[in-house]
Structures are given as structure tokens and as C-alpha cells.
Amino acid sequence: MDFLRKQLDKIKPHFEKGGKYEKFGPAYGGIETFLFVPNHTTKKGAHIRDGVDLKRVMITVVIALLPALFFGMWNIGDQHFSQIPGSDMSFMTLFIYGALKMLPMIIISYGVGLGIEFAYAIFRGHDVNEGYLVTGLLIPMIMPIDFPLWMLTISVIFAVIIGKEAFGGTGMNILNPALVARAFALFSYTGFMSGDQVWVTDAGIDGLSGETILGTLALGKETTTSVFDMFMGYMPGSIGETSVLMILIGAAILLFTGIASWRIMISSVIGAALVGLMFNAIGSDTNDLFNFPWYQHLLIGGFAFGMVFMATDPVSAAQTNTGKWIYGFLIGVFAILIRVVNPTLPEGVMMAILLMNVFAPTIDHYVIQSNVKRRQKRLIKLQKA
């Protein structure tokens, strides 16, 4: 590492102001701060002395994603070979198969996304933001495993340019970029994002399919997956979204480090549970999702993953404490509402989070105004007394 540090220091003057490659300074800075902790500090003004920077926050989120990612890799192999009668593969065989399927998607996501980020940084003359460290991993984790790489590339380009850079980059976007990528993929390549053949790699083997539980229920069929399997993640689904257990491990990491909001997580579960109970009470002879147990709604699809890693995005979520309760509750409500009422779009979590991303600033505005009015009334009472 000392050798690498010396080499970077040797070429650094060329990328500084007045250097031969001054224009590419942001790109150099992005690489340097990724490899080493930044050595710059605040020079003036009031500031907090803290070792936590954006890079550390993003790396922590990536670490929290790893349990779901590694399980997803194993599950890819398990779901694939379960389609082949008589196959009995070892854990490592299943994991390696899934990893080889997953790695090209991760490479495409980071390569294309970071390439655009570096290009924008050079064009605008500002530092490269570390925000894409998380987005680059989230995007492939919420896609079906056999999603064509060229479609993934276009989805990443759309998400980074329209969902992020168009608003000014990290910290300025109002929508979660990873969900923007998934929404673009869903509406642009619907046939590759839905149906019974996309959630298990090579699912057509021997005429067997790999449809998700939500897809099965939306088609009016009964699911045979047990609650235990739903919780553990032994079922078809997006790469990182199947195992609630692994997602909860990630949630514990985010909560322990203080990165994610427990208020958003808890309120979203409350909202989803109440709507699920309401539909259970109403019942339906034509829509099995009405009768699907409310607690199982929390275990399937992208609900758990969305609540832990996307609804809690500190940039696009509500910022006030009261606003977080409202924001999370409404995400839970709309997630189950869309899932049940619209069978053509059984995965409502994505749309619910994007919808509330748009209204998060409005929620915070009214919460702040309410606090101001309450304090004004208190002040008036004190003045009269």
C-alpha cells in the first residue's frame, strides 16, 4: 500500500490546478479517495469532528448488502438445478454457478455507472461522489438473473443520468436511482421483467417454470411455498430480495451503525400489515391476493429489501422524525395496495417507494410548518401569561 501511495503522490501534481491533466482532476480524486481515506479537513467555520464520511457510510451499506447478495448467489444455483430432475449439487457448486451468473451484472452496473459519474465529474469540474458505490450493487440485486446485459446497461444509463445526475448528483436526487433503473426496465422491457420464465436462470429446462409467489397468486394459482421457505428465501425472485433472514442481518448492521432509520422500517411494516389485514377481512373469490395472509405479504417479493435498503435512503426519504413515520407508513400502505388491487403489477414496493420519494419533501414541509405553528401558539400563550 505504501508503494501505491507513493505512486499516486508522484502523479498527483499533474492533476492539480495548473497541471498537465488538470481537467481530469476529479477522476484522479475519485480513485484516490476510493483507495485511501481523504486527508483533507475543514479549514474554517464551525464543524463536527467526526471520522465518518460519505465513503465510510457507503461502504457500510455495501457490507450490509453482502449477506443478501451471497445468499442470492447460492439461491440462483439452487433454483436452477432444482429444475433438473435427479441433480444433487454441493453448496459450493450452487454458489459458484450463481456467482458466475451474477458477477457480469455487477461489473456492467459498476462499469457503466461509474463511467458516467466520472464523465459528469470531469465535465462539471467537481469531485466524484461515492454515492454510486451502493447504487451500483443495488441495481443488479433487484433484477431477474437472466435479465439481458444490454438491457441492464441501458437501465443503468437511464438511472444515473435521469435519476441522479440530472438533479445534480449524489445528495440532490429526489428519486432512488436503483428503483429508477428497475422502473425503466419494467416499463421498457416488460416481457423480461415479468412472467414465469425470468426469475430462475434457464427456467425452461424440461418444461418447468420459475415463477415467483406473487406471479403465481396474480395468475389465480395457489402457492405451495411454506412460511419458513419464504423467510429463509428458498424461492424464485430477484437476486437479493428473497431471503428475509439475510435482509434482517443487513438491517441490524444499518441500525447498529445509525445509518438507516428504524422509524421508516417500523412504520412501513405497520402500514403494510394494516392494509393486509383489511384485505383479509374483505376477502375475494376472484383475487387470491385478497386472501393471502397479511404477515406473508411481508415475506415475499421485494417488500423487506425495499423497506431496509431503499425506503431508508437518506437522500430521497423524509428527513424529519415525524415525517419518517408518515413516509414509511404510506410506503407500506401503497406497497400492499398496489400489489393486491393491480394484479398486472403484483410487485408494488417499487412504485410505492418512488411515489413517496416524490412526496417526501412535501411531508417534511408540512411537518415543519406544523411545528412552527405549535411553537408560535406556545409563545403567544407565554406572552399573555
Helices (H), 283-348: 288-291, 294-297, 303-305, 321-341
Q: Is the pTM of this model over 0.85?
A: no
Share of the chain above pLDDT 90, in %: 45
Gap between the Cα atoms of 22 and 14, Å rounded: 7
Closest CA to 199 of 216, 187, 218, 219: 216
| pLDDT for 206 beyond 70 | no
* Mean pLDDT taken over the chain: 82
> Which one has a higher pLDDT value, 323 or 167?
323
pLDDT of residue 99: 94
Q: What is the mean pLDDT of residues 110-125?
A: 82
Question: What 3-state class would DSSP assign to 236?
Answer: coil
> Which one has a higher pLDDT value, 17 or 363?
363
| pLDDT for 327 beyond 70 | yes
| pLDDT for 51 beyond 60 | no
**Residue 83's pLDDT band (boundaries 50, 70, 90)?**
confident
| Domain boundaries along the sequence of the chain | 11-38+53-259, 260-385
Q: Are 62 and 133 in contact (CB under 8 A)?
A: yes
Cell numbers at residue 17, please? 490546478
**Residue 43's pLDDT band (boundaries 50, 70, 90)?**
low
- Residues 6+ away with beta carbon under 8 Å from 211: 195, 196, 197, 199, 219, 236
Which pairs from 348-352 meet CB under 8 Å and 24+ separation? 349/301, 349/302, 349/303, 349/306, 349/307, 350/142, 350/179, 350/182, 350/183, 350/186, 350/302, 350/306, 351/183, 352/306
Q: Are 89 and 165 in contact (CB under 8 A)?
A: no
pLDDT of residue 7: 62
Q: What is the mean pLDDT of residues 73-84?
A: 87
Closest CA to 310 of 76, 54, 65, 106: 65
| pLDDT for 49 beyond 90 | no
Least confident of 7-11, 152-156, 231-235: 7-11
Say which residue the cell 415479468 belongs to: 194
Tell the burial category of 312 from Cβ atoms under 10 Å away from its Cβ (0-12, 13-18, 19+): buried
Least confident of 37-46, 250-259, 304-313, 333-342: 37-46
Gap between the Cα atoms of 170 and 174, Å rounded: 10
Least confident of 39-53, 250-264, 340-354: 39-53
- Residues 6+ away with beta carbon under 8 Å from 385: none
**Residue 4's pLDDT band (boundaries 50, 70, 90)?**
low
Cell numbers at residue 350, please? 417499487
Least confident of 169-183, 237-251, 263-277, 367-381: 169-183
Closest CA to 101 of 200, 194, 177, 197: 200
**Residue 23's pLDDT band (boundaries 50, 70, 90)?**
low
